[in-house]
Amino acid sequence: MLLTISTTHQPATDLGFLLHKNPDRHQTVGLSFGVAHVIYPEASPQRCTAALVVDVDPIGLVRDRRGRPGSNFSLAQYVNDRPYVASSFMSVALARVFSTALSGRSKERPEVADREIPLEANLAVVPCRGGESVLRRLFEPLGYTVDASTIPLDTHFPAWGNSRYLAVRLRATTKVKDLLEHLFVLLPVLDDDKHYWVGPDEVDKLLRRGGEWLAGHPDRELIAQRYLRHDRHLAQQAMAHLLADEPVDPDVAVAAHDAEEDTVERRISLGEQRMAAVADALVSAGARRVVDLGCGQGKLIRALLAVPSIDYVVGVDVSHRALEVAARRLHLDTMAPRQRQRVELLQGSLTYRDQRLAGFDAAVLAEVIEHLDPPRLGSFERVVFAHARPGVVVLTTPNVEYNVRFENLPAGDLRHRDHRFEWNRDQLATWSSQVAQRHGYQVDISGIGPTDPEVGSPTQMAVFSR
Ligand code: SAH
pLDDT of residue 402: 93
Q: What is the number of the ligand 1 atom nearest to the C-alpha of 299?
A: 8
Give 455's pLDDT tier (boundaries 50, 70, 90).
very high
Higher pLDDT residue, 227 or 121? 121
Query: Which stretch, 104-108, 190-194, 212-216, 313-317, has highest mean pLDDT?
Result: 313-317
| Count of residues making up the chain | 466
Tens of pLDDT, residues 156-186: 777 777 777 889 999 999 999 999 999 988 9
| Closest-CA residue to 319 (of 352, 356, 357, 348) | 348
- Pairing verdict, β 312-317 and 117-127: unpaired
Q: Which residues have CB under 8 Å from 371's CB, separation 6+?
A: 294, 418, 419, 420
- Confidence check: pLDDT of 257 > 50: no
Share of residues in the chain with pLDDT > 90 (%): 50
Nearest CA to ligand 1 atom 15: 319
Dist. CA 364 → ligand 1 center (Å): 11
Instruction: Give pLDDT, residue 200.
Output: 66
pLDDT higher than threshold 70 for residue 363:
yes
Task: Say what the pLDDT of residue 230 is.
Answer: 66
For the domain spanning 250-465, the CATH number is 3.40.50.150
pLDDT-derived band at 235 (thresholds 50, 70, 90) equals: low
* Strand, coil or helix: 221: helix
- Residue 195: what pLDDT? 53
Pairing of strands 2-7, 48-56: antiparallel
- Phi/psi at 119 (5° precision): -130, 150
| Pairwise pLDDT comparison (186 vs 416), residue with the higher score | 186
Weakest-pLDDT range from 52-66, 213-227, 402-416? 52-66
Region 321-342: mean pLDDT is 91
Q: Is the pLDDT of residue 296 over 60?
A: yes
Q: How far is the CA of 214 from the centre of ligand 1 (A)?
A: 22
Q: Whose CA is nearest to atom 12 of ligand 1?
A: 296
Q: Ligand 1 pocket check: which of 140, 368, 370 to mutate, most ligand atoms within 8 Å of Cβ?
A: 368
Query: Which DSSP symbol is given to 141?
Result: G
Give pTM, 2 decimals: 0.50
Summary mean pLDDT of the chain:
84
pLDDT at 254 over 60: no
**Statement: residue 255 has pLDDT above 50:** no
Band (188; pLDDT cuts 50, 70, 90) = confident
Q: 294 CA distance to ligand 1 centroid (A)?
A: 3
Question: Which range among 120-134, 228-242, 360-374 has the greatest average pLDDT?
Answer: 360-374
Query: In the chain, how many H helices and how many E strands?
Result: 18, 14
C-alpha 218 – ligand 1 centre gap (Å): 17
Quickly state the pLDDT bin for 322 (edges 50, 70, 90). very high
**Using CB atoms within 10 A of its CB, is residue 424 exposed (0-12), middle (13-18) or buried (19+)?**
middle
Digit-coded pLDDT (tens) for 21-55: 999 989 998 877 788 999 999 999 999 999 999 88
Q: What integer pLDDT is reported at residue 253 of this predicted model?
A: 36
Q: In this structure, which residue's CA is closest to atom 7 in ligand 1?
A: 366
Is the distance from CB of 441 to CB of 385 less than 8 angstroms? yes
Domain with CATH 3.40.50.150 in the chain: 250-465
- Mean pLDDT, residues 460-464: 97
Burial class (CB in 10 A: 0-12, 13-18, 19+), 415: buried
Radius of gyration of the chain (CA): 24
| Nearest CA, atom 4, ligand 1 | 367
For the cut 60, the answer to whether the pLDDT of residue 388 exceeds it is yes
Domain 2-196 -> CATH class: alpha beta
CA–CA distance, 68 with 74 (Å, rounded to integer): 14
Predicted pLDDT at 72? 47
pLDDT band at 424 (very low <50, low <70, confident <90, very high): very high
pLDDT of residue 55: 84
Judged by DSSP in three states, 35 sits in strand
**Looking at the predicted structure, is the pLDDT value of residue 280 above 50?**
yes
- Spell out which residues line ligand 1, taking CB within 6 angstroms: 294-296, 299-300, 317-319, 322, 349-351, 366-368, 371-372
Residue 260 pLDDT > 80: no
* Cα separation, 297 vs 367, whole angstroms: 13
Binned at pLDDT 50, 70 and 90, residue 391 comes out as: very high
Residue 206 has pLDDT above 70, yes or no: yes
Alpha carbon of 401 to ligand 1 centroid (Å): 22
pLDDT band at 19 (very low <50, low <70, confident <90, very high): very high
**418 pLDDT tier (thresholds 50, 70, 90):** confident
| Span(s) in the chain for CATH 3.30.1610.20 | 2-196
Q: Which atom of ligand 1 is nearest to the CA of 365?
A: 1
Q: What average pLDDT does the segment 214-238 reach?
A: 78
pLDDT the model gives residue 250: 39
